[in-house]
Structure 1
Amino acid sequence: MAEPKKIIIDTDPGIDDAMAIFLALRSPEIKVIGLTTIYGNVYTTLATRNALHLLEFAGRTDIPVAEGSHVSYMAIQLDPAFAKNIGQIVLLGGAFAVNGNVNPAAEANIFGDPEAADIVFTSGADVLAVGINVTHQVIMKDDERDKLAQSDGMFAKYLCKILDYYFSYHRDAYSMKGVYLHDPTALVAAINPSLMTYTEGVVRVQTTGITRGLTLFFNKQKRFEEATEWCNKPTVKVAVTVDAHAVIKLVMERLMNS
């Protein structure tokens, strides 16, 4: 077998973040060598506390947690060599050609720091973006939550105690009986990228106005005559389809066998 990929998870736990972290710890394809925290679902200090709690529950206090900045910084700005020194950035973010989940234009992670997102997308790093155009295809339903509750897996039982709130939010916000598995789907892209298909092009992020946080994808099929902010920018990969059934199956099996 190939050596597991070493990964660092940048996180703001978060219910589906917790699910993704537990999934990572149960996945032999990868080795979690650290967690870093940032604001999002909660403020940075609480994200750190939650991350430490999750690792303590999992019996993995050997994994270090580094608290991120309380204001906007990007590692790429602080260290220009960063983009070339890492293997890949797999990020959950964007709403490519669908409505956002903060407002019609923007997805939450990108909306939280669109300037930083634009720097990442144009950094030249090997970036793979998993947006809500894909994660909204991966839905855990009531019967799957029941299976988690009935299993002997410690991660499954833990998650069932906090999933009620997540299901209630989706019922109120989307009038749906189920929850989107955002973070776990992005993690699956790192575990088994063959479960998705991808396109490649330039991504820029709108940083001002009513569409602040909008991710716009340029497929580079047309050569424009005028020089613009799109010219000579590096390409990234963007997920476009997903085998939702296979993702749900993988997540369920690994959480129930914990």
Structure 2
Amino acid sequence: MVEEIKKIIIDTDPGIDDAIAIFVALQSPEIEVIGLTTIFGNVHTTLSTRNALHLLEIAGRTDIPVAEGPHVTVTEGVKLQSSGYVHGTDGLGNQNISPPKGKPIEQTAAEFLIQQASLYPGKVTVVALGPLTNMALAIQLDPEFFKKVGQIVVLGGAFAVNGNVSPAAEANIFKDPTAADIVFTSGADVLAVGLNITHQVVLTGVFLHDPTALLAAVNPSLITYSEGVVHVQTVGITKGLTIFYNKQKRVVEVTEWSGKPAVKVAVTVDAPKVIELVMARSSILRSIHMLL
């Protein structure tokens, strides 16, 4: 029996490691990338969209639509600083790249996500490589979205390890913690791939955060996971903290944790295999040399 090709939407804030993940996806025969949606994170949303369009042009895949997300967080309306100190002010290493020829589609990212999940119920996997604002908006706009989407693979969280923007928080969750809490408690099939996993996948000193999450969607056998309830701290010194309750110890009292749907949290990864897959799809690295 031939296994069905998985339909993937990549929600992205490119980002050098996002670029690697996108190139990996486009060279993965197990999946069909049916769209990119953009969000702030490594750079602001407008630049995320520009970079996404540029990467698709490099890959010769301008047939793939790009839908732009909002410029602010889901509830607070906060416009956040980018991570220029990591990815350069343009998100792709300060290469002064020419503007892409393509344009984003007229639909918003959330509208596109809802449309595709409705067209292919249970068949669309969203790989969310940035803050979860677009996912939360889709859930708010369509109460049935969490049932229609196949799975949401989240690059985010720091489970039992320190964060990378504070001792408590990982960057994607920290930048829109309310959105993250909405997604984790929505009832959708969510798989969180956190820093506890991606810090094990290192290529010559570089953590392969985004490619690891992408490949977890492509090949679920690369990771193992535990199931439980996740809440996100939205304010204070621990803003962005992902708290995982694996239900091994039963809490009798009725609390905010009671009756909440479970999500999957990755707990182990086959790091050598992830690196092998990235390297095997070697034209990725040639593309990056072209890009950078």
- Short-chain TM bin: 0.7 to 0.9
Q: Matched residue of 1:34: which SS?
A: strand
Q: Deviations over 1:149-197 (max 9, x none)?
A: xxxxxxxxxxxxxxxxxxxxxxxxxxxxx11000000001011111111
State the distance in 1 between where 2:151 and 2:275 align.
24
Cα offset, 1:55, TM superposition: 0.2
User: Is residue 79 from structure 1 mapped to residue 142 from structure 2 by the alignment?
Assistant: yes
CA contact (8 A) 1:196 1:243 kept: yes
Cα offset, 1:206, TM superposition: 0.5
User: Is residue 39 from structure 1 mapped to residue 40 from structure 2 by the alignment?
Assistant: yes
After superposition, where does 1:1-258 map in structure 2 within 5 Å?
Answer: 1-73=2-74, 74-141=137-204, 178-256=205-283
Cα offset, 1:80, TM superposition: 1.1
State the distance in 2 between where 1:240 and 1:131 align.
9
- Return 5+ residue gaps in structure 2 as ranges: 75-136, 287-292
Q: How many residues align?
A: 222
2:38 counterpart letter in structure 1: T
1:29 counterpart letter in structure 2: E
State the distance in 1 between where 2:165 and 2:23 align.
26
Cα offset, 1:223, TM superposition: 2.2
Cα offset, 1:72, TM superposition: 2.4
1:36 counterpart letter in structure 2: T
Cα offset, 1:113, TM superposition: 0.3
Q: Matched residue of 1:31: which SS?
A: strand
Cα offset, 1:225, TM superposition: 2.3
CA contact (8 A) 1:114 1:213 kept: yes
CA contact (8 A) 1:11 1:36 kept: yes
CA contact (8 A) 1:138 1:180 kept: yes
State the distance in 1 between where 2:58 and 2:51 align.
11
Q: Deviations over 1:33-61 (max 9, x none)?
A: 00000000000000000000000010000
Cα offset, 1:250, TM superposition: 0.5
Cα offset, 1:3, TM superposition: 2.1
State the distance in 2 between where 1:70 and 1:179 align.
28
1:18 counterpart letter in structure 2: A
Structure 1 moving runs of 4+ over 4 Å? none
State the distance in 2 between where 1:241 and 1:130 align.
10
Cα offset, 1:75, TM superposition: 1.2
Cα offset, 1:69, TM superposition: 1.1
- Return 5+ residue gaps in structure 1 as ranges: 142-177
Q: Deviations over 1:111-166 (max 9, x none)?
A: 0100000000000000001001000000001xxxxxxxxxxxxxxxxxxxxxxxxx
Identity of aligned residues (%): 77
State the distance in 1 between where 2:282 and 2:138 align.
32
State the distance in 2 between where 1:133 and 1:224 align.
26
Aligned to 1:147: none
Cα offset, 1:26, TM superposition: 0.2
1:26 counterpart letter in structure 2: Q
Segment of structure 1 superposing worse, 72-81 or 112-121 = 72-81
TM-score by length of 2: 0.75
State the distance in 2 between where 1:68 and 1:36 align.
7
State the distance in 2 between where 1:82 and 1:123 align.
9
